[in-house]
A = this chain, B = another copy of it.
Amino acid sequence: MTQKAISFSPAEYRRRLMLTRAAMAERDLDAIFIEDPSNMAWLTGYDGWSFYVHQGLIVTHNTDPVWWGRNMDANGARRTAWIGEDVIRPYGDEYVQSTSRHPMQHLAALLKEMGFETARIGVEMENYYFSAKAYTTLLAELPQAEIVDATALVNWQRAVKSDEELTFMHRAARIAEKMVLGAIDRSDVGVKKNELVADIYHDALTGADGHWGDYPAIVPMCPSGADASAAHLTWNGAELRSGECTFFELAGVYRRYHTPLSRTVFLGTPPEDMKRAEAALVEGLEAGIDAARAGNVAGDIARALAGPLDRAGIERGARCGYSIGLSYPPDWGERTISLRDEDETELLPGMTFHFMPGLWTPEWGLEITEPVLITDRGPAKPFCNLPRQLFVKADRNSIMAPLDHSDPILAASLAAQELSKENPI
């Protein structure tokens, strides 16, 4: 047995467990069963691509969190989670994707063995990994228990980041800058989309400043032209074309901590409506970042953004950001705080958001976004340092004189290098 590879200090994991137990006590829960892999990792360090089968943690008030999962993944728990051997409780492969058995039958037996047959147990009703069938099976197997909705109970404890977590996000930010700058730099007429993404992944995983890159919870988004009117199309083998813009919605990731960042590149001369939208968007971003202060609420950021956009006649109709941090596919958001008018969550120092006011029209998509940290006083601090602009690159096939497009990119690159020297994390 080799050494465990644990990401955080024992004190940090104690802090997390204490917060979770306090939230459980507040809701009078004897135990919670959580399948969200982000919550599993946040509480124990457990890390593996095993969430395509049922697995989870049983969190109680008086034992270490119990890791429950497939037998072949128990070694993964032994190697990545701080918990002891006595709380690693695997199930046999006969439960995996079976038509005659469900893993929740095994879990229910374990909960009974632990004394929770008549307990009040929280489950994550709205989660990718706790299926409808998991719920109905658990209900049937534990008829005397009170199974209640504890969706996002753990997620909410993750909203304010510790210094240890922020260190990871700063490392991820350096990777994000490298990815976005590289993508803009390589964009040119005739470059194939899949080859561009191959290089983006290469930049992501080789990492930055000596820190290796982890996989993003969402694959790189980089639609071009009218495809960019669809927010979530992935790539194909088509070439970048003159007169089109391409947005890059990417995230640098360090040990599952995400710092997303988006910029857009236009090959040729952007149309007037896009330039007006860019100006309003940049003004809205600045206003939003200025409103992103401790004591304000999430909705204040959305309202600050809306001012300049409204004046430019742009109605977005979608939320403009979300809480970020530790994540697993299929989403890199934390699924708690949304930046939108109706969200009255108070902003606290240490909260981290992807301020993401993407604009999608039927003809094009424009994304200039910022990952930000709420600080003790003053406006939010962006994690990244790239110019907030639409990057315009001369079309080599156009009859126009080439624009001097290398300057903003070079400047941004140098700025990012300077920033990383200031923050040698």
Distance, CA A5 to CA B226, complexed state (A): 12
Residues of B within 8 A of A397 (CB): none
Residue A318 lies at the interface, judged by CB distance under 8 Å to chain B: yes
A14 to chain B, nearest CB (A): 24
Taken residue by residue from 97 to 108, chain A's Cβ proximity to chain B (1 for < 8 Å, 0 otherwise) reads as 110001000000
Residues of B within 8 A of A5 (CB): 236
Q: Is the CB of B136 within 8 A of A125?
A: yes
Say which residue of B199, B225, B338 sits within 8 Å of A96 (CB atoms): B338
Q: Is the CB of B194 within 8 A of A72?
A: no
Within 8 A of B (CB), among A147-204: 149, 151, 192-195, 197-199, 201-202, 204
Say which residue of B128, B195, B232 sits within 8 Å of A206 (CB atoms): B195
Q: Is the CB of B125 within 8 A of A47?
A: no
Within 8 A of B (CB), among A316-354: 317-319, 322, 329-331, 333, 335, 338, 340, 342
Residues of B within 8 A of A376 (CB): none
Q: Is the CB of B232 within 8 A of A213?
A: no
Given A76-B230, A194-B212, A212-B237: A221 and B49 interface contact (C-beta under 8 Å): yes
Residue A9 lies at the interface, judged by CB distance under 8 Å to chain B: no
Q: Is the CB of B212 within 8 A of A2?
A: no
Distance, CA A213 to CA B198, complexed state (A): 9
- Which interface residue of A72, A124, A215, A340 has the most chain B CB atoms within 10 A? A72
Given A52-B331, A317-B93: A194 and B218 interface contact (C-beta under 8 Å): no
Residues of B within 8 A of A317 (CB): 71, 92-93
Say which residue of B76, B201, B233, B237 sits within 8 Å of A233 (CB atoms): B76
Residue A231 lies at the interface, judged by CB distance under 8 Å to chain B: yes
Q: Is the CB of A48 within 8 A of B230?
A: yes
Q: Is the CB of B194 within 8 A of A198?
A: no
Residue A79 lies at the interface, judged by CB distance under 8 Å to chain B: yes
Residue A120 lies at the interface, judged by CB distance under 8 Å to chain B: no
Q: Is the CB of A232 within 8 A of B76?
A: yes
What are 29 A-B contacts defined by CB distance under 8 Å? A47-B234, A48-B230, A48-B234, A49-B219, A49-B330, A50-B231, A52-B218, A71-B317, A72-B360, A75-B230, A75-B231, A97-B333, A97-B335, A124-B132, A125-B133, A126-B132, A128-B131, A130-B132, A135-B135, A135-B136, A192-B212, A194-B205, A194-B207, A197-B205, A198-B201, A198-B204, A211-B237, A329-B330, A330-B330
Residues of B within 8 A of A232 (CB): 48-50, 72-73, 76
Q: Taking A52-B330, A128-B128 as given, write out 18 further A-B residue pairs in contact, using a Cβ cutoff of 8 Å, ordered by the A residue number.
A: A48-B233, A48-B234, A49-B218, A49-B219, A51-B330, A76-B231, A79-B226, A80-B233, A93-B340, A96-B318, A126-B132, A132-B134, A133-B149, A194-B205, A194-B207, A207-B237, A212-B236, A212-B237
Q: Is the CB of A338 within 8 A of B97?
A: yes
Q: Is the CB of B198 within 8 A of A206?
A: yes
Distance, CA A232 to CA B213, complexed state (A): 18
A99 to chain B, nearest CB (A): 8
Residues of B within 8 A of A215 (CB): 219, 234
Distance, CA A201 to CA B195, complexed state (A): 11
Residue A13 lies at the interface, judged by CB distance under 8 Å to chain B: no
Given A76-B231, A76-B233: A198 and B202 interface contact (C-beta under 8 Å): yes
Residue A118 lies at the interface, judged by CB distance under 8 Å to chain B: no
Which are the 10 A-B pairs with shortest beta-carbon distances? A212-B237, A132-B135, A76-B230, A198-B205, A52-B331, A194-B212, A75-B230, A125-B133, A126-B133, A201-B201
Residue A399 lies at the interface, judged by CB distance under 8 Å to chain B: no
Q: Is the CB of B131 within 8 A of A319?
A: no
Residues of B within 8 A of A225 (CB): 2
Residues of B within 8 A of A98 (CB): 338
